[in-house]
Structure 1
Amino acid sequence: MSLRLDAVDVLSKWNAPDDRADRLRGAYLEHLAAHEDGMLKACRDGHVTASAVIVDADRARVLLTLHAKIRMWLQTGGHCEPVDRTLADAALREAREESGIAGLSLLAGGAPVGLDRHHTPCAVHLDVQYVALAPPGATELISEESLDLRWFAFDALPADTDDAVRALVARARETV
């Protein structure tokens, strides 16, 4: 199965938690139906991305990255790559690359916990969001995409983040 077909399958089966998420799910499926390259950065009309907020082994904090280009605290994530077989694989790869943490695993049965559509310098991102669990003793390592990495308690997020990240962290807290 191709990455695009996996995304269609995942989104088709996903139980959206609310009407907004269900509308986004429908828009993502329409996008993928209209664009063969809708998973790839090359698609200028927008592309599906995958992200994961990382929860520590004690299930008390989340790891956020101070994104070098956007200069806001965000979850790990980004563009799908040809090596990714599934959306979940893409989310885990991005989380490993941006956090330096090996041994991450997805929570919520490996299913997405949310969707977020946002504009970026390259195009519109149709983000599929996951929650990843860090193994005990995990140590983060800042990548070249980040200015900083930091653990935050669920209820003590930094001021320079946005509502989408806050909503994702709230869903992560419900998941753990």
Structure 2
Amino acid sequence: MTSLHADAVRVLTGWTPVGDGQDELRRAYLAHLADRPDGMWRACPEGHITASALVVDPAGGRVLLTLHPKVGRWLQMGGHCEPGDGTLAAAALREAVEESGVEGLVLLPVDGRPGPVKLDRHLVRCAGKDRPENTHLDVQYVALAPAGARELISEESLDLRWFDWDGLPADTDRSVRDLVARARELV
């Protein structure tokens, strides 16, 4: 078991879910990790844990979303865990910085330390359009942007854009809307 795997078990075991279905997902994630020592990694065929972070500008009342090149939708920053990630929180923060280009992001403390705010399980073709779908077991955080934060598009995004809390694109999926609502409650 890697330290990242152990951290995921620790985080999910100690996390108090809020919202419909969140405790059921938490238990499913823990069962996945108990059954799969490789359950953190993209190569796990049954699915894998991913880490994401919604970038929030609390002073401006807005969120930064990326137009994801593979999915073609506006999403929070996030992706696969990597061997160099020591913790789930570190993976989420790394993904947020890499995909947003925003320096100085900090994860929102939950119960005094960076913690998840929501879980989301979804199917995605992370190996390409012609490959079978994989299950992403996403652990979602909130990353707070410093005042005056400026985004920088990377090769992992088609576009980056700030949206007001109530001004999300019309085709934004339910998962992202729920994450934005949860973040708004917390900040």
Gap change, CA 1:169 and 1:58, over 3 Å in 2: same
**1:143 aligned partner:** 154
Question: What secondary structure is seen at the aligned counterpart in 2 of 1:172?
Answer: helix
**1:23 aligned partner:** 24
**2:90 aligned partner:** 89
Moved more, 13-22 or 28-37: 13-22
Q: Which contiguous aligned blocks of 4+ residues in structure 1 show a shift greater than 4 angstroms?
A: none
Q: Is the 8 A contact 1:66 1:146 kept in 2?
A: yes
Q: How do 1:69-88 residues align onto structure 2 when only pairs under 5 Å count? A: 69-88=70-89
Q: Percent identity?
A: 66
Q: Is the 8 A contact 1:3 1:86 kept in 2?
A: yes
TM-score by length of 2: 0.91
Mapped to 1, the partners of 2:60 and 2:41 lie a distance apart of 33
* CA RMSD across the alignment: 1.1
> Greater helix percent: which structure?
1
Q: How many residues align?
A: 176
Deviation at 1:108, TM superposition (A): 3.3
**2:171 aligned partner:** 160
**1:98 aligned partner:** 99
Q: 1:118 aligns with which of 116, 122, 133?
A: 122
Deviations 1:59-109 (A, max 9, x none): 500000000111000000000000100000000000000000111001133
**1:40 aligned partner:** 41
Mapped to 2, the partners of 1:5 and 1:130 lie a distance apart of 18
| Structure 2 unmatched runs, 5+ | 127-133
